[in-house]
Amino acid sequence: MNFELSDEQVQIRDTFARFCDERIAPRAAEIDEAHAFPHALFREVAALGFFGLRYAVESGGLGLDLVSLCLALEEISRGSMSLAGCVTMQSLMGTKFLEMLGSADIKKRLFEPALRGDKIGGICMTEPNAGSDLGGIATAARKVDGGYALKGQKMWVTSAPVADFFTVFARAGAEKKLTIFLVEKDFKGLAIGKAIPKMGVWALPTSELAFDDCFVPDSHRLSHAEGDGEGHLRKLLAEIRIVTGALALGGARGALEEAIRYAGERQQFGKPINRYQAIQLKLAEMATDLEAARRLVHYAAWLKDNDKPHHKEAAMAKLFASEAAVGICDKAARVLASYGYSMEYSVQRHLRDIRFTLIGGGTSEILKLVIAKELSA
């Protein structure tokens, strides 16, 4: 494997690095404290072509690889995990099934505007009694004249209060298997609950949704056949895990960079604290863990890009990157000591936000089971 980035990948990384430094980082605290979807920056990210980065040129995208997406996401998330969460949903889970399975009308009315940032998409999988256990999904789609009536409840729906459409997983057909539906925000019977207060990623609104015999026309059944939803989801799951790992890289890097700056400025006993071994050891451990995580994430992305088996490696990358990132953010807060607990510095935001990466794409416990299963296969 060649560890050097291509000229195109370097250009993507540098473009989003400048965007982070000039547009995201100066406003990160403001975004966080507003507790509101960052519409302005969301549209700026769209203008850079980010939402279509992974989609084929013929679909209106840039046709780039997963490594490029990971490089861009690391830069965005080191500035603001909230913004990174919003744009990740839009660029992958919120739009992928429209691109894969949507009709020409759906692509023209919803998918193409979504790539421009003019429409916002979300995905509905998790339920009160179904998280990692897809078998626990209970939302039902009953066949009626001209379409389906959806009934059930979804939880933790990212961007729900501002979304224009949702990809919904529900059980349909005689065998009650998972089927994918597209629900637009104005469909009768859809109710969007209030945003769920969270420990971190405050500007990433997350709500519950309720479907009370919500009518969905036949044209909005994205599954080619009733019951093929789980198969389509599993094709995307590894990519979700890899990009979640990339989000973790950015959050950890943001914390590490602040710890390095602070350690060079903070004076104790007559010299900067980065001259003391206790601090040097922490910084060395953090930098080493970050680089190891980056290699795992990029390797898993490279495998995906080259159509090689990658499900085990995707699980490993997400597991290691998210756990390492939590440790890095904790160590960064320790380097800042009292100021690591202060709202004045961004370390507290990185520390709160980074736990978001432990959840998306599967918990660490689930990922370990996935890896163990692959090892014994």
pLDDT at 216 over 90: yes
Q: What is the DSSP letter of 65?
A: -
Report the chain's mean pLDDT, rounded to a whole number.
96
Residues 6+ apart with CB under 8 A from 7: none
| pLDDT at site 133 | 85
pLDDT at 13 over 70: yes
> What pLDDT, in 10s, does the model give residues 161-191?
999 999 999 999 999 999 999 999 999 999 9
- The position carrying tokens 């001259």 is 275
| pLDDT at site 1 | 63
pLDDT at 115 over 70: yes
- Reduced to 3 states (helix: H, G, I; strand: E, B; else coil), residue 35 is coil
pTM given for the model? 0.96
Mean pLDDT of the 296-303 span: 98
DSSP 159-219: TGGG-SEEEEEEEETTTTEEEEEEEETT-TTEEEEEEPP-SS-TTS-EEEEEEEEEEEEGG
Q: Return the percentage of the chain with pLDDT > 70, whole number.
A: 100
CB 308: neighbour CB atoms within 10 A?
A: 9
- Reduced to 3 states (helix: H, G, I; strand: E, B; else coil), residue 49 is coil
pLDDT at 2 over 80: no
Q: How many residues does the chain have?
A: 377
> What pLDDT, in 10s, does the model give residues 319-331?
999 999 999 999 9
> What pLDDT, in 10s, does the model give residues 229-267?
999 998 899 999 999 999 999 999 999 999 999 999 999
Beta strands in the chain (DSSP E): 121-124, 140-144, 147-158, 165-172, 177-184, 190-195, 206-217, 267-268, 271-272
Q: Which amino acid is at 337?
A: A
> What pLDDT, in 10s, does the model give residues 53-111?
999 999 999 999 999 999 999 999 999 999 999 999 999 999 999 999 999 999 999 99
| pLDDT at site 273 | 98
Mean pLDDT of the 17-46 span: 97
Residues 6+ apart with CB under 8 A from 88: 73, 243, 247
